Structure 1
Amino acid sequence: MDTIITDLEILPFVGSKYLEPFTMSFKQNGKRRTWDCVKVFNCVSIFMYHKQKDAFLFVKQFRPAVWYSQKKSGFFSDEPGYTYELCAGILDKNLSDEQTALEEVIEETGYKLPNLERISRNYGSLGFGGNTQTMFYGEIDESMKVSEGGGIDDESIELVFIKQKDMQNFIYDESKVKGFGLMFAYLWWREFKGAK
Protein backbone atom coordinates (compact mmCIF):
# COMPACT_ATOMS: atom_id res chain seq x y z
CA MET A 1 0.00 0.00 0.00
CA ASP A 2 1.48 3.33 -1.04
CA THR A 3 0.09 6.05 1.17
CA ILE A 4 1.40 9.53 0.43
CA ILE A 5 1.08 12.24 3.07
CA THR A 6 1.05 15.82 1.73
CA ASP A 7 0.08 19.32 2.87
CA LEU A 8 0.51 18.48 6.57
CA GLU A 9 -0.22 21.48 8.86
CA ILE A 10 -0.22 22.00 12.61
CA LEU A 11 -3.51 23.75 13.54
CA PRO A 12 -4.85 25.10 16.85
CA PHE A 13 -7.06 22.74 18.84
CA VAL A 14 -10.73 23.71 18.50
CA GLY A 15 -12.47 20.78 20.20
CA SER A 16 -13.03 17.14 19.39
CA LYS A 17 -15.56 14.35 19.84
CA TYR A 18 -12.66 12.02 20.74
CA LEU A 19 -10.85 13.89 23.50
CA GLU A 20 -11.44 16.68 25.98
CA PRO A 21 -8.53 18.43 27.71
CA PHE A 22 -9.08 19.77 31.22
CA THR A 23 -7.07 20.85 34.26
CA MET A 24 -7.64 19.20 37.63
CA SER A 25 -6.95 21.06 40.89
CA PHE A 26 -6.46 19.09 44.11
CA LYS A 27 -4.64 19.02 47.41
CA GLN A 28 -2.00 16.36 48.00
CA ASN A 29 -0.55 16.16 51.50
CA GLY A 30 -2.02 19.59 52.20
CA LYS A 31 -0.38 21.26 49.18
CA ARG A 32 -2.47 22.62 46.30
CA ARG A 33 -1.55 21.09 42.91
CA THR A 34 -2.87 21.25 39.37
CA TRP A 35 -2.62 18.59 36.69
CA ASP A 36 -3.43 18.76 32.98
CA CYS A 37 -5.51 15.80 31.82
CA VAL A 38 -7.30 14.55 28.73
CA LYS A 39 -10.62 12.70 28.80
CA VAL A 40 -10.52 9.96 26.16
CA PHE A 41 -12.53 6.87 25.32
CA ASN A 42 -11.65 3.49 26.74
CA CYS A 43 -10.58 1.04 24.05
CA VAL A 44 -9.91 -2.55 23.06
CA SER A 45 -7.04 -4.22 21.24
CA ILE A 46 -6.70 -7.65 19.65
CA PHE A 47 -3.55 -9.76 19.26
CA MET A 48 -4.02 -12.18 16.36
CA TYR A 49 -2.14 -15.30 15.37
CA HIS A 50 -2.65 -16.78 11.89
CA LYS A 51 -2.35 -20.55 12.26
CA GLN A 52 -1.71 -21.38 8.60
CA LYS A 53 0.90 -18.66 8.13
CA ASP A 54 2.48 -19.22 11.57
CA ALA A 55 2.50 -15.45 11.80
CA PHE A 56 1.04 -12.59 13.80
CA LEU A 57 -1.20 -10.03 12.13
CA PHE A 58 -0.69 -6.33 12.84
CA VAL A 59 -2.06 -3.16 11.31
CA LYS A 60 0.20 -0.45 9.93
CA GLN A 61 -1.05 3.10 9.64
CA PHE A 62 0.01 6.74 9.66
CA ARG A 63 -0.28 8.36 13.08
CA PRO A 64 0.05 12.17 12.91
CA ALA A 65 0.97 12.46 16.62
CA VAL A 66 3.87 10.04 16.12
CA TRP A 67 5.05 12.00 13.08
CA TYR A 68 4.91 15.22 15.12
CA SER A 69 6.77 13.65 18.04
CA GLN A 70 9.46 12.35 15.70
CA LYS A 71 9.79 15.77 14.07
CA LYS A 72 10.16 17.54 17.42
CA SER A 73 12.65 15.02 18.79
CA GLY A 74 14.66 14.71 15.58
CA PHE A 75 14.34 10.92 15.71
CA PHE A 76 12.72 9.54 12.60
CA SER A 77 12.16 5.86 11.90
CA ASP A 78 12.44 4.29 8.46
CA GLU A 79 8.81 5.28 7.84
CA PRO A 80 8.12 8.62 9.60
CA GLY A 81 4.76 8.62 11.37
CA TYR A 82 3.90 5.01 10.53
CA THR A 83 3.22 2.54 13.33
CA TYR A 84 2.79 -1.21 13.69
CA GLU A 85 -0.09 -1.90 16.04
CA LEU A 86 -2.53 -4.43 17.35
CA CYS A 87 -5.94 -4.19 15.74
CA ALA A 88 -7.80 -1.81 18.05
CA GLY A 89 -10.76 0.49 18.51
CA ILE A 90 -12.45 2.85 20.92
CA LEU A 91 -15.56 2.04 22.94
CA ASP A 92 -17.90 4.62 21.41
CA LYS A 93 -20.87 2.53 20.19
CA ASN A 94 -22.49 1.22 23.39
CA LEU A 95 -21.22 -2.29 22.63
CA SER A 96 -19.43 -4.61 25.04
CA ASP A 97 -15.65 -4.80 24.96
CA GLU A 98 -15.79 -8.15 23.13
CA GLN A 99 -18.43 -7.00 20.62
CA THR A 100 -16.34 -3.91 19.84
CA ALA A 101 -13.22 -6.04 19.41
CA LEU A 102 -14.93 -8.47 17.03
CA GLU A 103 -16.28 -5.57 14.97
CA GLU A 104 -12.86 -3.90 14.79
CA VAL A 105 -11.22 -7.13 13.59
CA ILE A 106 -13.61 -7.30 10.63
CA GLU A 107 -13.29 -3.59 9.79
CA GLU A 108 -9.51 -3.40 10.03
CA THR A 109 -8.35 -6.85 8.96
CA GLY A 110 -11.26 -8.48 7.11
CA TYR A 111 -11.28 -11.60 9.31
CA LYS A 112 -14.42 -12.72 11.14
CA LEU A 113 -13.54 -14.37 14.43
CA PRO A 114 -16.05 -16.68 16.12
CA ASN A 115 -14.82 -15.64 19.57
CA LEU A 116 -11.99 -14.03 21.48
CA GLU A 117 -9.98 -14.83 24.59
CA ARG A 118 -9.62 -11.98 27.07
CA ILE A 119 -6.00 -11.30 28.05
CA SER A 120 -6.15 -8.35 30.43
CA ARG A 121 -7.44 -4.84 31.08
CA ASN A 122 -4.85 -2.15 31.73
CA TYR A 123 -4.65 1.62 32.03
CA GLY A 124 -2.89 3.76 29.42
CA SER A 125 -1.64 7.32 29.20
CA LEU A 126 -1.14 7.27 32.95
CA GLY A 127 0.32 10.77 33.15
CA PHE A 128 -2.61 12.53 31.47
CA GLY A 129 -5.36 10.17 30.30
CA GLY A 130 -6.00 7.17 32.51
CA ASN A 131 -8.25 5.40 30.02
CA THR A 132 -8.49 1.61 30.00
CA GLN A 133 -7.61 -0.84 27.24
CA THR A 134 -8.98 -4.36 27.27
CA MET A 135 -6.76 -6.72 25.30
CA PHE A 136 -8.01 -9.86 23.57
CA TYR A 137 -6.44 -12.76 21.68
CA GLY A 138 -7.77 -14.49 18.61
CA GLU A 139 -6.56 -17.20 16.23
CA ILE A 140 -7.35 -16.79 12.55
CA ASP A 141 -7.05 -18.74 9.33
CA GLU A 142 -8.01 -18.03 5.73
CA SER A 143 -11.45 -19.63 6.09
CA MET A 144 -12.35 -16.63 8.30
CA LYS A 145 -11.46 -14.02 5.67
CA VAL A 146 -14.64 -12.13 4.69
CA SER A 147 -13.26 -8.87 3.23
CA GLU A 148 -10.06 -7.00 2.42
CA GLY A 149 -10.17 -5.01 5.67
CA GLY A 150 -8.26 -1.74 5.68
CA GLY A 151 -10.63 0.16 7.95
CA ILE A 152 -13.69 2.27 7.24
CA ASP A 153 -14.33 5.80 6.01
CA ASP A 154 -10.97 7.46 5.35
CA GLU A 155 -8.82 5.00 7.32
CA SER A 156 -5.86 3.71 5.38
CA ILE A 157 -4.77 0.55 7.18
CA GLU A 158 -2.26 -1.92 5.81
CA LEU A 159 -2.14 -5.51 7.06
CA VAL A 160 1.29 -6.79 8.08
CA PHE A 161 2.11 -10.41 8.91
CA ILE A 162 5.22 -11.07 11.00
CA LYS A 163 6.33 -14.71 11.09
CA GLN A 164 6.61 -16.25 14.54
CA LYS A 165 10.31 -16.95 13.94
CA ASP A 166 10.91 -13.23 13.23
CA MET A 167 8.97 -11.77 16.16
CA GLN A 168 11.89 -11.47 18.59
CA ASN A 169 13.83 -9.33 16.10
CA PHE A 170 10.71 -7.34 15.20
CA ILE A 171 10.03 -6.52 18.87
CA TYR A 172 13.47 -4.96 19.29
CA ASP A 173 13.69 -3.29 15.87
CA GLU A 174 13.49 0.41 16.76
CA SER A 175 13.08 1.37 13.09
CA LYS A 176 9.54 -0.10 13.27
CA VAL A 177 7.45 2.06 15.63
CA LYS A 178 5.25 0.02 17.97
CA GLY A 179 3.70 0.42 21.40
CA PHE A 180 4.22 -1.49 24.61
CA GLY A 181 0.85 -3.24 24.18
CA LEU A 182 2.11 -5.14 21.15
CA MET A 183 5.22 -6.19 23.02
CA PHE A 184 3.23 -7.26 26.07
CA ALA A 185 0.81 -9.27 23.91
CA TYR A 186 3.66 -11.17 22.32
CA LEU A 187 5.23 -11.97 25.70
CA TRP A 188 1.80 -13.17 26.91
CA TRP A 189 1.50 -15.39 23.81
CA ARG A 190 4.93 -16.91 24.38
CA GLU A 191 4.06 -17.65 28.01
CA PHE A 192 0.57 -19.12 27.48
CA LYS A 193 0.20 -20.15 23.81
CA GLY A 194 3.64 -20.68 22.33
CA ALA A 195 5.50 -23.94 21.99
CA LYS A 196 6.71 -25.27 25.31
Structure 2
Amino acid sequence: MENISKVWLGELPKDSPYVKPFRMYYVQNGVEKNWDLLKVHDSVAIILFNTTRQKLVLVRQFRPAVYHGIISSALGNFEKVDLKEFPPVIGVTLELCAGIVDKQMSWEEIAREEVLEECGYNVPVERIEQVMVYRSGVGSSGAKQAMYYCEVNDEDKANSGGGVDDEMIEVVELTLAEAQRMVQQGAVNNSPPSCLMGLMWFFANKAPKAI
Protein backbone atom coordinates (compact mmCIF):
# COMPACT_ATOMS: atom_id res chain seq x y z
CA MET A 1 0.00 0.00 0.00
CA GLU A 2 2.79 2.41 0.86
CA ASN A 3 5.08 1.23 -1.95
CA ILE A 4 4.84 4.51 -3.85
CA SER A 5 7.93 5.44 -5.84
CA LYS A 6 6.98 8.72 -7.49
CA VAL A 7 4.49 11.56 -6.93
CA TRP A 8 3.72 14.50 -9.20
CA LEU A 9 0.85 16.88 -9.95
CA GLY A 10 -1.02 17.55 -13.17
CA GLU A 11 -4.05 19.31 -14.62
CA LEU A 12 -7.46 17.74 -14.05
CA PRO A 13 -8.73 16.34 -17.37
CA LYS A 14 -12.13 17.62 -18.45
CA ASP A 15 -13.40 14.07 -18.96
CA SER A 16 -12.81 12.99 -15.36
CA PRO A 17 -15.63 10.59 -14.38
CA TYR A 18 -15.29 11.47 -10.70
CA VAL A 19 -14.75 15.23 -10.33
CA LYS A 20 -16.17 18.05 -12.43
CA PRO A 21 -15.28 21.61 -11.32
CA PHE A 22 -17.54 24.52 -12.23
CA ARG A 23 -18.65 27.96 -10.99
CA MET A 24 -22.17 28.77 -9.80
CA TYR A 25 -23.51 32.33 -9.97
CA TYR A 26 -26.38 33.62 -7.84
CA VAL A 27 -27.92 36.81 -6.52
CA GLN A 28 -28.28 37.00 -2.74
CA ASN A 29 -29.99 39.98 -1.13
CA GLY A 30 -29.54 41.97 -4.33
CA VAL A 31 -25.80 41.22 -4.63
CA GLU A 32 -24.41 39.01 -7.40
CA LYS A 33 -22.07 36.38 -6.05
CA ASN A 34 -20.33 33.22 -7.26
CA TRP A 35 -18.91 30.05 -5.76
CA ASP A 36 -16.53 27.45 -7.20
CA LEU A 37 -17.92 23.95 -6.86
CA LEU A 38 -17.17 20.31 -7.58
CA LYS A 39 -19.67 17.81 -8.93
CA VAL A 40 -18.90 14.44 -7.36
CA HIS A 41 -20.78 11.19 -6.82
CA ASP A 42 -23.05 10.65 -3.85
CA SER A 43 -21.87 7.85 -1.56
CA VAL A 44 -22.60 5.31 1.16
CA ALA A 45 -20.67 4.49 4.33
CA ILE A 46 -21.21 1.47 6.56
CA ILE A 47 -20.47 0.99 10.25
CA LEU A 48 -19.54 -2.69 10.58
CA PHE A 49 -19.53 -4.53 13.90
CA ASN A 50 -18.38 -8.14 14.12
CA THR A 51 -20.45 -9.66 16.92
CA THR A 52 -18.34 -12.84 17.02
CA ARG A 53 -15.17 -10.91 17.75
CA GLN A 54 -16.81 -7.89 19.38
CA LYS A 55 -14.78 -5.66 17.10
CA LEU A 56 -15.47 -2.81 14.71
CA VAL A 57 -14.36 -3.42 11.13
CA LEU A 58 -12.73 -0.49 9.32
CA VAL A 59 -10.61 -0.15 6.20
CA ARG A 60 -7.10 1.23 5.80
CA GLN A 61 -6.01 2.81 2.52
CA PHE A 62 -3.73 5.41 0.96
CA ARG A 63 -5.61 8.62 0.18
CA PRO A 64 -3.86 10.96 -2.28
CA ALA A 65 -5.98 13.92 -1.12
CA VAL A 66 -4.86 13.45 2.48
CA TYR A 67 -1.24 13.03 1.42
CA HIS A 68 -1.43 16.18 -0.71
CA GLY A 69 -3.13 18.11 2.09
CA ILE A 70 -0.41 17.25 4.60
CA ILE A 71 2.37 18.22 2.21
CA SER A 72 0.72 21.45 1.04
CA SER A 73 0.17 22.47 4.67
CA ALA A 74 3.90 22.09 5.23
CA LEU A 75 5.25 23.46 1.95
CA GLY A 76 2.51 25.44 0.28
CA ASN A 77 2.55 24.99 -3.51
CA PHE A 78 4.84 22.22 -4.67
CA GLU A 79 5.68 20.29 -7.83
CA LYS A 80 7.75 17.35 -6.65
CA VAL A 81 7.75 15.39 -3.41
CA ASP A 82 10.70 14.12 -1.37
CA LEU A 83 9.40 10.68 -0.38
CA LYS A 84 11.92 10.43 2.44
CA GLU A 85 10.77 13.70 3.97
CA PHE A 86 7.11 12.86 3.33
CA PRO A 87 6.74 9.06 3.40
CA PRO A 88 3.48 7.84 1.82
CA VAL A 89 2.35 6.32 5.14
CA ILE A 90 1.33 9.80 6.29
CA GLY A 91 -1.45 9.67 3.69
CA VAL A 92 -2.92 6.39 4.95
CA THR A 93 -6.33 6.62 6.62
CA LEU A 94 -8.66 4.53 8.76
CA GLU A 95 -12.22 4.79 7.45
CA LEU A 96 -15.61 3.15 7.41
CA CYS A 97 -16.30 0.77 4.57
CA ALA A 98 -17.69 3.06 1.87
CA GLY A 99 -18.26 3.57 -1.83
CA ILE A 100 -19.73 5.88 -4.44
CA VAL A 101 -23.25 5.61 -5.82
CA ASP A 102 -22.62 4.95 -9.51
CA LYS A 103 -24.89 1.99 -10.31
CA GLN A 104 -28.57 1.47 -10.98
CA MET A 105 -29.14 -0.23 -7.63
CA SER A 106 -30.73 0.77 -4.36
CA TRP A 107 -28.39 2.48 -1.94
CA GLU A 108 -28.76 -0.44 0.48
CA GLU A 109 -27.70 -2.85 -2.28
CA ILE A 110 -24.67 -0.69 -3.05
CA ALA A 111 -23.79 -0.71 0.67
CA ARG A 112 -24.11 -4.50 0.78
CA GLU A 113 -21.85 -4.80 -2.26
CA GLU A 114 -19.20 -2.54 -0.68
CA VAL A 115 -19.23 -4.64 2.50
CA LEU A 116 -18.51 -7.74 0.42
CA GLU A 117 -15.88 -6.18 -1.85
CA GLU A 118 -13.96 -4.17 0.74
CA CYS A 119 -14.34 -6.27 3.90
CA GLY A 120 -15.30 -9.72 2.62
CA TYR A 121 -18.60 -10.17 4.47
CA ASN A 122 -21.58 -11.48 2.50
CA VAL A 123 -24.75 -10.29 4.22
CA PRO A 124 -28.36 -9.93 3.03
CA VAL A 125 -29.55 -6.43 2.31
CA GLU A 126 -32.14 -6.79 5.09
CA ARG A 127 -29.32 -6.54 7.64
CA ILE A 128 -28.24 -3.16 6.32
CA GLU A 129 -29.81 -0.62 8.69
CA GLN A 130 -29.95 3.04 7.69
CA VAL A 131 -28.50 5.37 10.31
CA MET A 132 -28.70 8.84 8.75
CA VAL A 133 -28.42 10.80 5.52
CA TYR A 134 -26.41 14.02 5.36
CA ARG A 135 -24.36 16.27 3.09
CA SER A 136 -20.59 16.11 2.83
CA GLY A 137 -18.20 18.73 1.47
CA VAL A 138 -20.73 21.50 2.03
CA GLY A 139 -18.21 24.13 0.92
CA SER A 140 -17.25 22.39 -2.31
CA SER A 141 -19.63 19.64 -3.47
CA GLY A 142 -22.65 19.26 -1.16
CA ALA A 143 -22.80 15.58 -2.12
CA LYS A 144 -25.22 13.30 -0.31
CA GLN A 145 -23.97 10.42 1.81
CA ALA A 146 -26.07 7.76 3.50
CA MET A 147 -24.66 6.01 6.56
CA TYR A 148 -25.66 2.46 7.41
CA TYR A 149 -25.06 0.03 10.26
CA CYS A 150 -24.56 -3.69 9.82
CA GLU A 151 -23.73 -6.43 12.30
CA VAL A 152 -21.67 -9.27 10.86
CA ASN A 153 -20.17 -12.45 12.27
CA ASP A 154 -17.40 -14.84 11.34
CA GLU A 155 -19.84 -17.11 9.50
CA ASP A 156 -20.60 -14.23 7.08
CA LYS A 157 -16.97 -14.07 5.95
CA ALA A 158 -16.88 -14.99 2.25
CA ASN A 159 -13.46 -13.67 1.22
CA SER A 160 -10.56 -11.58 2.49
CA GLY A 161 -11.92 -8.29 1.12
CA GLY A 162 -9.45 -5.71 -0.06
CA GLY A 163 -11.49 -4.12 -2.83
CA VAL A 164 -11.72 -4.84 -6.55
CA ASP A 165 -9.59 -4.17 -9.63
CA ASP A 166 -6.53 -2.13 -8.61
CA GLU A 167 -7.85 -1.01 -5.22
CA MET A 168 -5.51 -1.55 -2.28
CA ILE A 169 -7.59 -1.80 0.88
CA GLU A 170 -6.60 -3.42 4.16
CA VAL A 171 -9.32 -4.68 6.50
CA VAL A 172 -8.67 -3.56 10.08
CA GLU A 173 -10.44 -4.84 13.20
CA LEU A 174 -10.51 -2.50 16.20
CA THR A 175 -11.43 -3.36 19.75
CA LEU A 176 -14.01 -1.07 21.27
CA ALA A 177 -11.31 0.51 23.44
CA GLU A 178 -9.17 1.23 20.36
CA ALA A 179 -12.12 2.76 18.53
CA GLN A 180 -13.03 4.89 21.54
CA ARG A 181 -9.55 6.40 21.57
CA MET A 182 -10.15 7.64 18.02
CA VAL A 183 -13.03 9.87 19.16
CA GLN A 184 -11.84 10.95 22.59
CA GLN A 185 -11.05 14.59 23.30
CA GLY A 186 -7.67 15.58 21.88
CA ALA A 187 -7.48 12.70 19.39
CA VAL A 188 -5.60 13.36 16.15
CA ASN A 189 -5.96 11.01 13.19
CA ASN A 190 -6.44 10.93 9.43
CA SER A 191 -9.98 9.57 9.52
CA PRO A 192 -12.75 11.53 7.77
CA PRO A 193 -15.62 13.10 9.76
CA SER A 194 -18.06 10.43 8.56
CA CYS A 195 -15.95 7.72 10.19
CA LEU A 196 -15.65 9.57 13.48
CA MET A 197 -19.35 10.42 13.47
CA GLY A 198 -20.16 6.79 12.75
CA LEU A 199 -18.04 5.59 15.66
CA MET A 200 -19.68 8.06 18.02
CA TRP A 201 -23.12 6.97 16.81
CA PHE A 202 -22.15 3.36 17.45
CA PHE A 203 -21.03 4.04 21.00
CA ALA A 204 -24.16 6.07 21.70
CA ASN A 205 -26.64 3.61 20.19
CA LYS A 206 -25.23 0.10 19.74
CA ALA A 207 -22.19 -0.58 21.89
CA PRO A 208 -24.05 -0.92 25.24
CA LYS A 209 -26.24 -3.63 23.71
CA ALA A 210 -23.33 -5.40 22.09
CA ILE A 211 -20.98 -5.58 25.07
| Band of TM-score, shorter chain | over 0.9
Q: CA deviation at 1:18?
A: 0.9
Aligned match of 1:97: 107
Mark the runs of 5 or more structure 1 residues left unpaired by the alignment: none
Cα deviation code 1:148-193 (max 9, x no counterpart): 110011100001111012222133442x310111111112112221
8 A contact 1:62–1:81 mirrored in 2 = yes
Aligned match of 2:202: 189
Q: Secondary structure at the match of 1:178?
A: coil
- Alignment pair present for 1:113 and 2:123: yes
8 A contact 1:77–1:177 mirrored in 2 = no
Structure 1 segments (4+ residues) deviating >3 Å: 75-78
CA distance in 2 between partners of 1:57 and 1:83 (Å): 14
TM-score between the two structures when normalised by the length of structure 2: 0.87
Distance 1:186 1:77, change over 3 A: farther
TM-score between the two structures when normalised by the length of structure 1: 0.93
- Alignment pair present for 1:7 and 2:6: yes
Aligned match of 2:61: 61
Q: Structure 1 vs Structure 2: percent identity of aligned residues?
A: 34
CA-based RMSD of the aligned residues comes to 1.8
Distance 1:78 1:4, change over 3 A: closer
Aligned match of 1:41: 41
Q: CA deviation at 1:62?
A: 0.5
Q: CA deviation at 1:78?
A: 9.3
8 A contact 1:45–1:89 mirrored in 2 = yes
Q: How does 1:78-157 map to 2 (within 5 A)?
A: 79-114=89-124, 115-157=127-169
Aligned partner letter, 1:137: Y
Q: State which drifts further: 12-21 or 152-161.
A: 12-21
Cα deviation code 1:91-133 (max 9, x no counterpart): 1011111000000111101111222110000000000101100
CA distance in 2 between partners of 1:79 and 1:140 (Å): 29
Distance 1:35 1:14, change over 3 A: same
